[in-house]
Amino acid sequence: MNSEKFPQIRAGGSLLLAWRIKNKNVLIVGGGNVACSRVIKALEADSSITLVCPEQGLKEELKYRIQQNQIRKWINREFEISDLDGMDMVLSAIDDPVRSREICQFCREKNIPVNVADVPPLCDFYFMAEHRDGPLQIAVSTNGKGPKLATIIRDHIQDNLPKRIGDSIEAVGLLRQKVREVDPDHASSEKRMNWMSKICEEWSLDELKMLNEKKIDELISHYKNNNVPKYSEIISSEGKKGYTGRIIIVGAGPGDPELLTIKATKALSSADLIVSDRLIPKAVFANVTCEIRLAPSKSGETKSEDAQDLLQNWCLEALNEGKTVIRLKIGDPFLFGRGGEEVAFFKERGWNVEVIPGISSGLSAPMAANVPVTYRGLSDQVLITTGQGTKGKLPNLPTYDIMRTTVVLMAVGKASELSKELLDKGYPPDLPTIFIENSNRPEERLIEATVSTLGEVVEKEHVVAPSTLVIGRTVNTLKNQELIC
């Protein structure tokens, strides 16, 4: 026989199983940290816990769980053999290897599976480092070689998983259940399995996450003909059935509610839900009556991708409920606002997207500081760029042109680096620059510097975001002229 035809056996492992212990009697011996962690795992598997440990050995956490009735029965003394009566599983977590060995021996005699935390060779099974997200459980075993390493590997896996994957699994669970309901026949098993497998392969996790009862019903209607539709087909047929969801990406301007366009103001008052982040000044919502949801700002409070994911999912959920959703963005959506990417995101999911422009601080902030970005004889072009280009790097700036005004958004954290880059590109060291902090808001502040002093001025004056930086000869043109912007 050809031995390569079949999988090779790698001996020495454990059998990894998902052990169902719902309502089973689990005895936990001990009251320290290990016992605490065993109690959590046994509770999360819906088992019924008996804890045996003298009161003086109990950690606070276990006292709390006893008081909350999470532990069915607590026996306030050391372990006795009679504690094993009626037990389906025993987890011993004591600091007495001799007693542990005895407990283990008693369990063997009674055929009860046992884990003894301090004597691994006697364990019938080991615990694993686990990641949990709803119905998803991922567990790592090193077979006793490196428990701490197991946790590090688990963390690594956890950090690399798609967000809210548990929701996708819940949705698939619902879909499987419905397929069985509409076609319960045992003879259909192969058809059901093939169809489910194809849906899982062809739909992204994000798309699966968005399955609700209505979409599942629509999807099931395709099962009958063994057809695997795309997510966008389900969405568009939902629309045909009278779903009126509408998504409008609106630029909020620089922060002064009076600088919202009339179109934006009208859209805000027609919305069912406004989705934005916490950087948006509250004044913008002065006349809004509908629900407003604000995600943590993308810088600082949470990872940028997480915030973006959350915002977009809020929008999709409301769209599927037929709501008019406004994705409100500071400034102009298409100028460093990721608006373009969001249009693509919603289009891919079958939605038509409307966009309303906003006044970008790239132009309104210089004006607030009395800086004309063009001026005959001084500047005949404007470059609007960012301090945070691809992967947070500075963009590749062109060499100095005496007739150009340069406006840099998101430059505060990059002032020193930017100063060097500008000098390298031939910008004169004493060329005037100005930071407009919180432009068009009551707390607006103007901070002047030159190309060579950008870094030190930001530090000395504690310049904060959001700030717009303007560089060029026109910075000083109207300096002593009173103007109200």
Ligand X SMILES: C[C@@]1(CC(=O)O)c2cc3[nH]c(cc4nc(cc5[nH]c(cc(n2)[C@H]1CCC(=O)O)[C@@](C)(CC(=O)O)[C@@H]5CCC(=O)O)C(CC(=O)O)=C4CCC(=O)O)c(CCC(=O)O)c3CC(=O)O
Ligand Y SMILES: NC(=O)C1=CN([C@@H]2O[C@H](COP(=O)(O)OP(=O)(O)OC[C@H]3O[C@@H](n4cnc5c(N)ncnc54)[C@H](O)[C@@H]3O)[C@@H](O)[C@H]2O)C=CC1
- Residues whose CB falls within 8 Å of the CB of residue 36, separated by 6 or more in sequence, listed in order: 59, 61, 62
- What is the C-alpha to C-alpha distance for residues 172 and 192, in angstroms, rounded to an integer? 13
> Rounded CA gap, 241 and 269, in Å?
26
Q: Which stretch binds ligand Y (CB under 6 A): 89-97, 204-212, 353-361, 441-449?
A: 89-97
Half-sphere exposure of 159 (CA within 13 A, CB side): 7
* Residue 140 host element (H or E): strand 136-140
Residue 140 binding ligand Y, by CB under 6 A: no
> Token digits for 338?
């990721």
How many Å apart are CA 245 and CA 325, to the nearest integer? 7
Say which entry of ligand Y, ligand X, none residue 148 contacts (CB below 5 to 8 A, set by partner kind). ligand X
35 touches, from ligand X, ligand Y, none (C-beta below 5 to 8 Å by class): ligand Y
**Least distance to ligand X, CB of residue 2, Å:** 35
Work out which of 93, 165, 316, 319 binds ligand Y, going by CB under 6 A: 93
Q: Which of 26, 28, 30, 475 binds ligand Y (CB under 6 A)?
A: 30
> In angstroms, rounded to a whole number, what is the distance separating the alpha carbons of residues 394 and 396?
6
Which of 126, 243, 314, 375 is close enough to bind ligand X by CB under 6 A? 126
Q: Note whether 114 and 96 are within 8 A (CB).
A: no
Contact status: 115 vs ligand X (CB under 6 A): yes
**Which H or E element spans position 29?**
strand 25-29
Closest CA to 455 of 428, 416, 426, 484: 416
Instruction: List the one residue from 79, 203, 285, 336 that touches ligand Y (CB under 6 A).
Output: 79
- At position 226, the amino acid (one-letter code) is N
Residue 145 in contact with ligand X, rule: CB under 6 A = yes
Active site residue 118: yes
Minimal distance, residue 29 CB to ligand X, in Å: 13
Task: Tell which one of 117, 319, 458, 470 touches ligand X (CB under 6 A).
Answer: 117
Indicate the residue among 79 and 195 with the shorter CB distance to ligand Y.
79
CB-nearer residue toward ligand Y: 129 or 268: 129
Task: Determine how β-strand 48-52 pairs with β-strand 25-29.
Answer: parallel
| From 118, 183, 309, 401, active-site residue | 118
- Can you give the binding site for ligand X, defined by CB under 6 A? 37, 115, 117-118, 120, 123, 126-130, 141-148, 150-151
- Can you give the binding site for ligand Y, defined by CB under 6 A? 29-35, 52-54, 57, 78-79, 93-96, 99, 117-118, 147
